[in-house]
Amino acid sequence: MREAYHVELEQLAVKLAAMSLQVADAMELATKALLETDLSLAEQVISGDSKVDDARADCEEAAYALLALQAPVATDLRTVLAAIHAAESLERMGDLALHVAKAARRRHPEAVLPDDVKPYFTEMGKVAVKLARQAETVIKTKDVEAARTLEADDDQVDDIHKHLFTVIMDKNWPHGVAAAVDVTLLGRFYERFADHAVSVARRMVFVVTGRMPGYGSAEDL
């Protein structure tokens, strides 16, 4: 019975890791749709979002079944609780990729972004996708050191996001209010996507250490 129980725990981790790759792929495609004004890619992300929602429901159903039937304690209990929270964050990451894709579709056939801010979103997109793929590795390995690397990459997205405000607030901004609003919202989508990836990694650190990083020691993530 205990062996079967631990197999179910491992299967739960596999489901979460697969979700992380799903949202990484979604943000990669959404970013390409945004930068290249590609309607077909935007539609692909939009139509695929329900699969991410279904994956979250599947993870939560499995987690709640383990709570109800196995009454886990200690590390096993932390694993199940972390899975519930991580599934929520991953589903939200999928929603944020969806928002990017919808922005690309809404403005089509016009480009959403002025050419002079596209490099910022190219970089944010690369880092965001990297973070989601790193989260997948952390979910599978529960590697605390690997989890810590996400924080530094998340800082890159935060820095670009902050810089975008100086760009659109410049008195010489030539693209008008609508473009400034689009840039502001899209920057926020990427910043939140990255934050959620870090949250997933922190949940895995909690599984290993019993402590949530960011609340205490300077050695925390």
What range defines the domain where residue 20 resides? Answer: 2-209
At 27 the pLDDT is 98
Is residue 217 in a domain?
A: no
From residue 170, alpha-carbon distances to 55, 111, 112, 129, 182 in Å are 43, 21, 19, 29, 16
- The answer to the question of residue 193 being in a domain is yes
Residue the block writes with tokens 């993530």: 221
Is residue 216's pLDDT more than 60? no
- Decide if 221 is inside a domain: no
Q: Could you tell me the pLDDT band of residue 215, with boundaries at 50, 70 and 90?
A: very low
216 located within any domain: no
Residues 109-123: what's their mean pLDDT? Answer: 96
pLDDT given at position 213? 76
Rounded Cα–Cα distance for residues 54 and 128 (Å):
22
- Domain with residue 84: its CATH number is 1.20.58.220
pLDDT (tens digit, 9 = 90+) per residue, 17-46? 999 999 999 999 999 999 999 999 999 999
In a domain, residue 127? The reply is yes
Please give the model's pTM, rounded to 2 decimal places.
0.93
Domain count, the chain: 1
Q: Is the pLDDT of residue 1 over 80?
A: no
- Looking at every residue in the chain, the average pLDDT score rounds to 92
**In-domain check, residue 115:** yes
Do residues 110 and 42 lie in contact, with contact meaning Cβ atoms separated by under 8 Å?
no
**Residue 3: band (very low, low, confident or very high) from pLDDT cuts 50, 70, 90:** confident
Domain membership flag for residue 45: yes
User: What pLDDT shows up at residue 2?
Assistant: 63
Considering only CA atoms, which of 64, 62, 66 is closest in space to residue 76?
66
The pLDDT value recorded for residue 6 is 81
146-189: pLDDT as tens digits: 998 999 899 999 999 999 999 999 999 999 999 999 999 999 99
Between CA 186 and CA 51 the distance in angstroms is 23
Q: Mean pLDDT across the stretch 56-76?
A: 90
Q: Is 176 left (phi over 0), alpha (psi -120 to 50) or beta?
A: left
* CA atoms of 215 and 221, how far apart (whole Å): 9
In a domain, 218, yes or no: no
